[in-house]
Every structure is written in structure tokens, then in C-alpha cells.
Amino acid sequence: MSRPVHKPERKRLFYFWKITWGVLLVLLLLVGGAVTWGYTQLMSGLPQVVGDHNVVGIEAEVNIYRDQNGVPHIEAENEEDLYYAQGFVTAQDRMFQMDMSRRQASGMLSEVVGKDALDSDRYFRTFGLRRAAEASVNAYDQEALTALDAYTAGVNEYITHALSENELPVEFRLLGYEPEPWTALDSLTIGKFMAYDLGGNWQGQAFRHWLVNNVSEEEALDLMPTYPDDGPVILDMAKDTTIDMAEVFADVGNYQPEPFNGSNNWVISGEHTASGAPLLADDPHLGLDTPSVWYETHLQSPSVNVTGVIFAGVPGIILGHNEEIAWGVTNVGPDVQELYIERRHPEDPHQFLYEDEWYEAEVTEEFIEVDGYDEPFLHETVITRHGPLISEYAHEEGVIIDEALALKWTAHEPSTELQAIMNINRADDWESFTTALEHFHAPAQNFVYADTNGNIGYRANGKIPIRPHDDAFLPVPGWTGEHDWQGYIPWDELPTIINPDSGMISTANNQIDDEDYDYHLSHTWAQPYRHQRILEMLEAGNDFTVEDMQAMQMDTQNLQAEEFVPILTKAVAEEELRDIDKEVLDVLGDWNKVDEKEEAGPFIFHLWMNAIPHVLFSSDIPESILDIFEGEANVVDQLLRDAAQGNEGPWIEKNGGLATVATESLQIAADYAKDLQGESPENWLWGDYHRATFAHPLGAMAPLNLLFNPRPQPVDGSSITVMAASFDNQTGDMIHGAGWRGVMDLSDLSQSYHIVAPGQSGHVMGDHYHDQLLDWVEGEYHTTNMAEYQTDSDHLRLVPEQ
């Protein structure tokens, strides 16, 4: 029998539950309100894609159709309105990315990120990308400047509208700032950043300078990319300087371009295709982030009809096709930079010696605003006759050293790449295409070409310096005048091919083989495996189709493993092997040498290859210097080849010989793999380590990573497969590869085939934020149609305000 509840107790229970439910209701309302507010904040930045939008700055109505993949098709009645609309649309999808890009390149991140970005800002202010962009403005013709101004006006229309309607992307709200108006200089600075990202060789000169002054002559020569004709003379030139390269470049590794920056492209004539018309494929390799560095767009006016991809923040189409031609690029990687050792006046830090006379260097002073600090940071850059002093970056402001390093770089000079892009977009044959390339100076690129008349071609295009000594191995004296550049390779003498007998042209940042070529291009090239594999596939096939080109871009055959697994497994000292080492070798022996995510073989092989440089160099070369070891992979490959043929070099010898190096590195790899994936090598998976992450800039901060970053995806490939997928050696996260893949069939240029990873949109709540990520992993291309796109597309009209 239950105890009766008396009235006072019943009353207390009534009030208890009333208060409890009241508190719960308030909490639910607060949580619900917070969720609603957060959802509203996330959704408010999404672009208007349907209806009418009245704008000031265009002459006639512009129609913008966004297809099912988020690709904007822009129809305008004149070019000025076309580029205005391109600026507006790109900003709708990518404004935060555009703002971060201009800030990074200009050295203005600290203003919104805080002190953590100050070193980056100092570095890029010193490097001078924005100064180089300013120097280029007057080199452009009026047509290009008009297009640039129109694009700028379109971006600013978006900014003005977003501010007035409180519809900025959520990243601006999280960081607590608003974007400044866009300028034409911002677009040109982003262009200079891409030249920076693809145009380095000064790091290799600095690395070899350190070697000359810190290891034996034999050891230094062993790590040269090629043996200098006058080895000892070359080495003597770099000795007896006061510059400490390890100190100068202690932090530069955080900001320098990825060593893997490269690409694949190829073009085949109609004699090798099923359609009888050329096929062209291109997949440039850059950093893999959210959003993609590439933005796909279709531009149409009475004078231009072109589609493809461009960097967000720059007008036109840099890679793609129009109605008559198609083109793609890879990086040439020539020696376009030079480090000069400058001698400073003992009493005046801004004077330097040149041909027995002292001259006054240019000095720029800039204030860097730093979020959270009342006073800006005063940054000084000293610019000699050869370029800015980059060694000053490593020292505290005001610290003066007797000798310094100045950087000369082709992209510091005025250049007109945007003008080239505009002209390429309208080109209709080989002559007009190559004429347009006269304006494309930096970075130097391998262009492949095809047209609807059946022609195919190739050109290594850009400004490449002529050196008096043709070496570019080491920093050179800047005070004698003997090492000043003697102009550039004449434009009409740059490597060029048109309609070769083979009917095939391919590049993958490989060495340009021409023994009769009169000019020096580079000492350092990509490892040959991607290009070898492309040639294998092209030479083994015929009657190629678009689908064949796509399959080639996704190919993961590992030719490096085919070469080195036999060498290394034969070299290991069997008596020193542990049980797990033997299991690892058994797995490698059964592996088909394809870098597939379901396999253990690539996991073991790549960890093994990554451990070899550690065994060879870690005890003798500081980490900051290894960070600037240009061409390390090729050099290490050659050391192993030579050792396997009985010619052990000093680095192999000093580490116990090939057997010891192979065994120690195998055991390091096995132990690391065991720590990551357990005791059983047969159960290890490449894909559990090698994952596509596509990180967002704000995704580095928990818990924002849960909002902005996609779920990591296991992925095939590696840095040396045609499907390029370079990764961080510690985490395995894929950080570099083909953010865009494109295939063009010249039998029908009304359509082409693309993947833009992870998607077109920069808005986390957008339908196209990560919608191509899985397609990218699996190689599922979408079709972009230049003729039939209006049906089932979102339609926005830009209407001139009366």
C-alpha cells in the first residue's frame, strides 16, 4: 500500500517540477536559439544564384547559369561586363579565400590573424611579391587593364552588397573583421604568388652553399644534382663567407613552396585516337586545401567563348579550351633565381660594393598591423641592385651583418601574364596561341596545345636567364659584376615542338632532353617515374578515348618501387633482420607495385624510402638545411643506384655501406608502421595512413576542424605515381596533388571533362563545398558543356541599375 501524499508535500512537488520544467524550457530555448543563430550565421553567406540583382557598373544585362556542379556559365554582351560578372561570381563563392590569398602574398595576415603570422608577413614583405605586382601595372596594355578593372569592380559589388545585407561568409565573422575593397593590384599580387609557388631554385643554391662550408668536398659533390664541370673551382667560390645558412633559413621552410609542385600533361594527335581528333589531358599539382586553388568557369561574349579553371581572384581562364583550341601546363622548373652574396660597407649598412665602388641600396619601410597590438610593427627591406636582402629576414630588426644574401628573380621584374591569358582565351590557332605566350613571363611553364584542325604542339615558355657561367649551383659574388645575368633566352629559341612524327607529346616536370640545346635550363628535375609511366601507357595503346585519358590520370603504378624494391631487399643484411622485418619483406615481395589504398606494400615502401634520408643525413645536416635540400629525392635515388652497382659514395660509406643503410631504414620504417597500425604487416593498409584531408585555413583550430574540414578519405597514389598524391611523412595526410583534372576531346569542344576537388564553393553550407571530394578519390569526372547548360541550371541576372 503506497504512502499517501499530504497536501504540503504535493504542493512542494508541484513547484519542484514546475521550476525544473521551466529551467529545462529556458535551456532548450537558449540552446535552440544558439543553434538557430549559428545556423543563420552559416547560411547567410550563401550566394544568390537565382533572380535579379541590380548593379552599378555594367552596360547590359548579364546572365549567369550555375550548372549541377556549381560551375558558373557567364553570358555577357561585351568583355567588360563579362569580367565584371566573373569578379562578382567568384567573390560570391570564394571571397574569404581571395582575401586570405591577397593577404598572404602581400604580407598582411597579421592584421587579422595576430602575431603568429608576423614572421610570414615579414618574409613575404621581404620577398616583395606586391612590389613586383606594382612594377608590372604599367607594362600592361589598356585592354588588359580594362578587364582587370572590370573584374575588380565586380568583386567590390559583391563586398558592398554583402556588407550592406550582413551576408559575409562566416569565416569573416569568426575572425572578427570585414574585407577591404578589392584592387587590381590584389589580382596581380595573387598572380605573382603563383610564380613564387612554381618558380624556386634559390633554396638549392643555399643548401649547396651550406654543404660546401660544413662537410668535406667529396661529400658536398656527392649531393650535387649533377657533377659540376669544374667541381673544386665551383666549391672554392662559396667558401670563406660569414653567412650562416642554417641560421638564415631556420624558419623559411614554413613558407617556401612545396618541393612537389609540378604537374602532368600530354597531348596526342588524331592518329592515336578513336575519334581521329587530338586528345589533351592536364592535371597541375599544387597544395590541396578547402576550397580548391582552382575555380572552374565558362566565359562567353561576342569576342570570347572559353571554359576551364582560374585562380580565385584573377580574371580569365588559365587552363582549358575555347571553341578552336585547348591547352594545359606543367612547371618547367628552370633556374630563374640567383642568390648573390653582397658585401656591405663597414660604416653604412645601406651601401654595398659593386665593381670597386659603393652604391646606395633602396630601402623600404612598411608598417605591419598586428591584431591585438596597438602599435604596428616597422619592417625594413633593403633592396640591392640584384634584389631584396632575404638573409635579413632571419635576424632581429636592427641586427646588421657584414655579408648578406640578395635574391634576383625573373618575377621581380614587370611581367604581363594576365595579358597573355586574355589573348590565349581568344586564340584560334598555333600562331595566335604562341604569340599570346610572348607575354607570359613567370612562372616558366610547359604548355601543350591542340586545335580542331588536328595540330598538336609544345612550348617551354617564360623568361629564363642566361648566366655567364651556366652553373646556378651556388650563391655567387654580387660585388664583382662577373655573375650578372646576360639577358634571357630569346623567345624564338625556347624549346618548341609542333606536330612531332610520334603524334605524342607529354611532360611531367621531367628533364628536357636536348643535347644540342645552347642554353642552361636547370640542374634539378622531378623524379622521372611519372613521365616514364605516361610514356609507357601512351606507347602501349592506340585508339585512345576520353575515358582512357581519365584512367591514365588516375594511374597508380609505382615505377620507383619496381626499381628499388629489388635493390633494397637484396641489400639488407639478413642476419640482422627481426621477425617483423622478415614479414615486411614478405609483404613487399607479394606486392604488385601499385599504390592502392587497400594494399600494405605502398605503406611499407614509402616509409622505407622516407627513412633512408634520415639514416644518411640526420646526424650531419641540420633539419633547417634539409628543409631546403632541393632535389633530395633524385639525389638519394642516385646514391642508391650507384651503391647497388658497387660505387658507394661517401654518404653511403660513412653510414656503414648499403647493407647497413638499407637494414636500418627498413627497421625504422617497420617500427613506425607497427606503432601506427599494429603488429601484423599483412593487415597494414596504405589508405589508413595515406588520406585526403583538404584542410580549411580555420580547420587547424579545434573544434572548427569539425565544421570546415571534410572527413579524411583513404586515397590511392603517391608523389611518384601519375595520380600524384604527395603526403606529410609524419601523419600520412595528403597535402599536395592535382586539385583539378581536365580532359579535352578536340572532336567536340562543346564539352570537356573535369574534377575540381573538393568542390566549387567556399561556403561550408553550400551544396558544392565538398561534393566532388569522393569523385576526386575515385576518378569520377563531370562534364561541363559550353552549349547546353541553361536547362536545370540556377539562373541569376545582373541587371544594370538605371
pLDDT tens track for 113-130: 999 999 999 999 999 999
Q: What is the mean pLDDT of residues 346-354?
A: 95
CA–CA dist 794, 46 (Å, integer): 14
Phi, psi of 708 (to 5 degrees): -95, -30
Residue 336 has pLDDT above 90, yes or no: yes
Give the CA distances from residue 321 to residues 328, 419, 458, 545, 785, in Å, rounded to whole numbers and listed in that order.
9, 17, 15, 18, 12
The reported pLDDT for the residue numbered 231 is 47
Please give the Cα distance from 282 to 426 (Å, whole number). 20
Exactly one of 101, 106, 136, 263 is catalytic; which is it? 263
Is the predicted pLDDT of residue 36 greater than 80, yes or no?
Answer: no
Say if residues 290 and 711 touch (Cβ distance below 8 Å).
Answer: no
Q: How many beta carbons lie within 10 A of that of residue 587, not counting itself? A: 19
Average pLDDT over the chain, rounded to whole?
91
Residue 367's Cβ-count burial label (10 Å; 0-12, 13-18, 19+) is exposed
58 has pLDDT over 90: yes
Yes or no: say if 794 and 49 are a contact pair by the CB < 8 Å rule.
yes
263: annotated active-site residue: yes
pLDDT surpassing 50 at residue 2: no
**What's the whole-model pTM score?**
0.92
The sign of the CA dihedral 512, 717, 265, 132 is negative
- For residues 369-396, give the mean pLDDT: 89
Distance, in Å, from the CA atom of 106 to the CA atom of 131, rounded to the nearest integer, reads 9
> Per-residue pLDDT for 796 more than 70?
yes
Report the pLDDT averaged over residues 256-262. 66
Q: What is the mean pLDDT of residues 541-569?
A: 97
User: What is the H or E stretch that residue 262 is in?
Assistant: strand 262-268
Question: Judging by DSSP bridges, how do beta strands 262-268 and 279-287 pair with one another?
Answer: antiparallel
pLDDT tens-place string over residues 705-720: 999 999 999 999 999 9
Q: Using one digit for the tens of pLDDT, what is the confidence trace for 486-534? A: 999 999 999 999 999 999 999 998 888 666 788 988 888 889 999 999 9
Q: What is the DSSP letter of 242?
A: -
pLDDT tier at 4, thresholds 50, 70, 90: very low
Q: 787 and 298 in contact (C-beta within 8 Å)?
A: no
CB atoms near residue 302 (< 10 Å): 10
| DSSP state letters, 571-621 | HS-GGG--HHHHHHHHHHHH--SB--TT-SHHHHHHHHHHHHHHHHHTTTS
452 φ, ψ to 5°? -75, -10
For 682, counting Cβ atoms within 10 Å of its Cβ (0-12 exposed, 13-18 middle, 19+ buried), the class is exposed
Indicate the pairing of strand 691-692 with strand 733-738: parallel
The three-class DSSP label of residue 184 is helix
15, 77, 107, 180, 272 from 159: Cα distances, Å: 54, 24, 21, 8, 49
Q: Is 796 exposed, middle or buried (0-12, 13-18, 19+ CB in 10 A)?
A: buried
Average pLDDT of span 236-257: 66
Q: Which residues pair with 405 in a beta bridge?
A: 341
Residue 597: per-residue pLDDT: 97
Q: What is the pLDDT of residue 3?
A: 46
Q: How far apart are CA 346 and CA 575, in angstroms?
A: 61
pLDDT number for residue 516: 77
What pLDDT does 5 receive?
47
DSSP 8-state secondary structure symbol assigned to residue 224: S
Question: 345: how many CB neighbours lie within 10 A of its CB?
Answer: 15
Q: Is the pLDDT of residue 240 over 90?
A: no
User: pLDDT tens digits, residue range 135-148?
Assistant: 999 999 999 999 99
- Name every residue whose Cβ is closer than 8 Å to that of residue 294 and which is 6 or more positions away in sequence: 309, 310, 311, 739, 740, 756
Report whether 391 contacts 384 (CB < 8 A).
Answer: no
Sign of the CA dihedral running 436, 786, 784, 793:
positive
pLDDT digits (tens, 9 = 90+) for 746-764: 999 999 999 999 999 999 9
pLDDT band at 44; cut points 50, 70, 90: confident
pLDDT at 743 over 80: yes
pLDDT in tens, 412-466: 999 999 999 999 999 999 999 999 999 999 999 999 999 999 999 999 999 999 9
**Domain parsing of the chain, residue ranges:** 1-43
Q: What is the pLDDT of residues 763-789, one digit of tens each?
A: 999 999 999 999 999 999 999 999 999
**Which of 293, 281, 284 has its CA nearest to residue 261?**
284
List, for residues 651-672, the tens digit of each pLDDT value.
Answer: 999 999 999 999 999 999 999 9
- Residue 256 C-alpha cell reads as 617556401
Closest residue by Cα to residue 710 from 793, 654, 775, 786: 775
Q: Is the dihedral of CA 457, 462, 467, 470 positive or negative?
A: negative
φ, ψ at 636 (rounded to 5°): -65, -40
The neighbour count for residue 526, using CB atoms within 10 Å, is 27
Q: Please name the residue that has the C-alpha cell 615579414.
A: 122
Reported as type and span, the H/E element at residue 365 is strand 362-368
Please tell me the predicted confidence (pLDDT) of residue 513: 66
335 in a labelled binding site: yes
Binning pLDDT at 50, 70 and 90, where does residue 396 land? low
User: What is the number of other CB atoms lying within 10 angstroms of the CB of residue 42?
Assistant: 17
Distance, CA of 711 to CA of 693 (rounded, Å)? 7
Residue 230 has pLDDT above 50, yes or no: yes
- High-pLDDT (> 70) share of the chain, %: 90
Phi/psi of residue 8, each to 5°? Answer: -60, -40
Cα(101)–Cα(107) distance, integer angstroms: 10
DSSP-assigned letters across all residues of 402-460: SEEEEEEEGGGS---HHHHHHHHHH--SHHHHHHHHTT--SS-EEEEEEETTS-EEEEE
Q: What cell was used for 517?
A: 640545346
Q: Return d(Cα 764, Cα 48) in angstroms, integer.
A: 15
Cell numbers for 755, please give them: 574534377
Instruction: Name the pairing type of β-strands 740-745 and 733-738.
Output: unpaired
